Amino acid sequence: MSLTISPRSSYRFLTYLRIFGRFSSSSNASFWSGPKENPIMVKTQYSNAISFDTKLFLPDIYDHNVNISCLGRCGKVKEARKLFDEMRQRDIVSYTSMITVYLKNGDLPNAEKLFQEMPERNVVVDSAMIGGYAKSGRIEEARQIFDEMPKRNVFSWTSLISGYSKIGRINEARHLFDRMPERNTVSWTTMVLGYARNGMIADARHLFDRMPDKNVISWTAMIKAYVEEGQTESARKLFDEMPQRNLYSWNIMISAYLDDNRVGEAIKLFELMPQRNVVSWTTIVTGLARNGSIENARKFFDRMPEKDIAAWNAMITAYADEGYVTEASELFTSMPKRNIVTWNAIIDGYTKNGLGCKAQMQLVHMLRTCERPNETTFTTILTACEILKEVTQVHSLVILFGFDTNTLLANALVTMYSRGGDVGSAQLAFEKLVARDIVSWTAMILAYSNHGCGHHALGLFARMIRVGAKPDRITFVGVLSACSHAGLVEKGKRAFASMSRAYGLEPKAEHYSCLVDLLGRAGCVDEAKRVVNQMPCGERDAAVLAALLGACKLHGDVGVASQAGEELIKLEPNGSGGYVLLANVYATRGKWDDVARVRKKMKERKVIKVPGFSQIEVKNRNHVFFVGDRRHPQVKEIYEMLEEELLPQMKDMGYSQRN
């Protein structure tokens, strides 16, 4: 049985197969290059029609292959695979199309599986797989396919060169480049970018100068290489030499000036642009906003012929960062369309400017508009929480949206629960984590340490070491503080010594202050003083001296206290801490003349002591009490309860009342 098709259909059929290497271009011959049985004889001589065996060619193969590619370009991978599976007959192009769909959508495992199932391969599919493996860093698999190819094209060579350069094996990339039988502009540009990506800017420029044919992409690639290396002047020189520029090259150069905070030059170059697109406008607006040039940013923003959402977000963030919350809120309200970045920007803006309640209300508004929050939303809103109840409510939402195992969020929850005094909830959030990082371990150790659970903190530290996590300097602050509060002097000293010996971490001022506090609490004032005297002068700060003064106060060592106190006052003449600590040490030893002298010095220098206060939440209301404060509306009832009920109970428990 035979079928006659029109010249137009025959041309499409021949072109389709010729592209994929199945036909030669000669006429009046058998074009089938596959197995000899079941040949397709295409008759072209003196004829406007083609006859062939319909058993061997089903008319829907071409259309199916085209549809598979189209679906892949739209990201509809499942639909493309469904169509592929439904095909009654497939050819090499069918497999190639489906593999390309997988690769373009980042699904290398399925592409690899289908590649291995192919009955036969050609240079197109081999080259595609080389590119897929190379992009994923699986360079050995890419090289194996390359070495086994009977025939290679420029794309095969270039993909492998790009793969080697991306993982830093630049010498192997150059060796391949030198072996290429023929090169095109893409090959040269890939090698230039390979050098630039690995910081070899001189080699990149040398190769660029050797290029036989430079197009606008090559010039732009070299300019981008200079920009990424921070060589803005070299980039501008090359930009000025370009025979032809495109929008991308203009945008890169403007962005480079903005990254260098050279606002004037960026504006001047922007105004010289022969034409602009939305990226150009967004680049100048976001760059100016990022550099704090809000007035200029707003001028360009208002001039934008078409405002994209990135420009709106940049302006909102810039206003919020500079404290212009009203302006940020007005822009947010007037936006025609918002995305998750927009919501996060306004919530973060309220939080940074101390408007926690507004940030929380914005989250409620966000949920009502059916916009789904992400990890950043919840991490930001947690920092806006002032009381434990708010942390708990946010935690409920975190669980509801399935983010309770997110490491970043869990770390924030541990910190906020600890800040609110709920160590148990902090521990639950920590234990829920599947993947813990150094911040997770450190946050929980600090939570235990800050609430007097020294043994728990040290136990967790030991557990952390067992699983192979490496502590950092902040971790050791928590460990040393835990040892101090638990009175574990020897363990604390060993932990301090292990910082440099076992982990290569040089102790800083905060570690010395923890060690001094540890020794001081244990009564080892002389040893604490010795630590202070032997520590590097650059690390001796107010916290270290305050820790030593605290030890002196605890054990009444006036001699050491006098020396440390005077040094602390010199270091912070306008801070009340040094004066108060020194005066308290003198008072414990009855040296009232010295107390009066210190207080007189405070008065002369107009140093004001910040009063202490306590805070309690009752029925969703915060009540703050300062020392000696009698302004609370229920102060009479509070003092009556204190005198009649609480003070007798405290005396029974061994506490003494001080006037």
pLDDT band for 655, please (50, 70, 90 cuts): low
Percent of the chain's residues with pLDDT above 70 = 80
What's the average model confidence in pLDDT over 251-265?
A: 91
Based on the fold, state whether residues 552 and 625 are members of the same structural domain: no
Give pLDDT tens digits for 75-94.
888 888 887 877 888 888 88
**CA 60/CA 180 separation, integer angstroms:** 39
Question: Is 248 among the domain residues?
Answer: no
Same structural domain for residues 501 and 428? yes
DSSP at 611: P
105 belongs to a structural domain:
no
Supply the pLDDT for residue 33. Answer: 32
Domain that holds residue 626: 613-652
Both 448 and 503 in a single domain? yes
Judge if 501 and 455 occupy the same domain.
Answer: yes
- Give the tokens for residue 228: 């990424």
pLDDT given at position 119: 80
Which residues does 108 contact at the CB level (< 8 Å), separation at least 6? 102, 132, 133, 136, 138
The three-class DSSP label of residue 8 is: helix
The verdict on residue 455 lying in a domain is: yes
Q: What is the pLDDT of residue 236?
A: 93
Entry pTM: 0.63
**CB under 8 Å to 359, separation ≥6 — which residues?**
347, 348, 350, 351, 380, 381, 384
Domain end among 36, 56, 76: 56
Confidence of residue 443 (pLDDT cuts 50, 70, 90): very high
Same domain as 486, residue 434? yes
Amino acid letter, residue 463 = R
Q: Does 204 have pLDDT greater than 80? A: yes
Burial annotation 583-614 (CB, 10 A radius, 16+ → b, else e) = bbbbebeebeebbeebbeebeeeebeeeeeee
Predicted local confidence at residue 570, as pLDDT: 67
Query: End of a domain among 467, 488, 507?
Result: 507
Closest CA to 106 of 83, 72, 140, 80: 72
- Spatial separation of the C-alpha atoms in residues 403 and 421, rounded to whole Å: 23
Say whether both 600 and 618 belong to one domain.
no
Domain match, 414 and 499 both: yes
Using DSSP's 3-state secondary structure scheme, residue 625 falls into strand
| Helix ranges, 384-488 (H) | 388-400, 407-419, 423-432, 438-450, 454-466, 473-486
Which one-letter amino acid corresponds to residue 479?
V
| Judgement on whether residues 499 and 541 belong to the same structural domain of the protein | no
Q: Are residues 481 and 577 in the same domain?
A: no
N residues, the chain: 659
55 has pLDDT over 60: no
The pLDDT tens digits of the residues spanning 148-164 come to 888 888 888 888 888 88
* Alpha-carbon dihedral 169, 175, 176, 180, rounded to 10 degrees: 160
Per-residue confidence at 577, pLDDT binned at 50, 70, 90?
Answer: low
Per-residue pLDDT at 377: 92
Question: Alpha-carbon torsion 227, 231, 236, 237, what sign?
Answer: negative
Please indicate, yes or no, if residue 466 is contained in any of the structural domains.
Answer: yes
DSSP string, 88-125: SS--HHHHHHHHHHHHHTT-HHHHHHHHHH-SS--HHH
Do 617 and 599 lie in one domain? The reply is: no
- What CATH number has the domain bearing residue 582? 1.25.40
Residue 133 has what DSSP assignment? Answer: H
Check pLDDT > 50 for residue 51: no
Domain boundary among 11, 31, 56: 56
- Note whether residue 120 is domain-resident: no
Give me the chain's average pLDDT, please: 80
Burial of 303 (0-12, 13-18, 19+ CB in 10 A): exposed
d(CA 195, CA 170): 7
What is the Cα Rg of the chain in Å?
A: 36
Residue 232 lies in a domain: no
Residue 410, SS3 per DSSP = helix
Q: Tokens 């396919």 — which residue?
A: 145
pLDDT in tens, 320-339: 988 899 999 999 999 999 99
| Bigger pLDDT: 473 vs 34 | 473
Distance, CA of 35 to CA of 355 (rounded, Å): 76
pLDDT at 6 over 60: no
- Check residue 560 and give its pLDDT: 66
Assess if residue 448 is contained within a domain. yes
Checking phi first, is residue 406 left (phi over 0); if not, alpha (psi -120 to 50) or beta?
A: beta
Q: Angle, to 10 degrees, between the axis of helix 509-521 and the axis of helix 473-486?
A: 10
User: Based on the domain organization, do 495 and 562 belong to the same domain?
Assistant: no
Summarised one tens digit per residue, pLDDT across range 455-490 is: 899 999 999 999 999 999 999 999 999 998 888 889
* Residue 143 in tokens: 């090289």
> HSE on the CB side for 514, CA within 13 Å?
29
pLDDT of residue 128: 83
pLDDT score at 568: 67
Nearest in space to 318 (alpha carbons), one of 335, 340, 295: 295
- Domains held by the chain: number: 4
Element at 75 (helix H, strand E): none
618 and 593 fall within a common domain: no
Distance in angstroms (rounded) separating the CA atoms of residues 426 and 27 = 79
Beta-bridge partners for 4: 51
**Residue 371 CA: distances (Å) to CA of 168, 308, 313, 337, 364:** 42, 19, 16, 12, 10
Asked if the structure places residue 207 within a domain, the reply is: no
CATH number of domain containing 409: 1.25.40.10
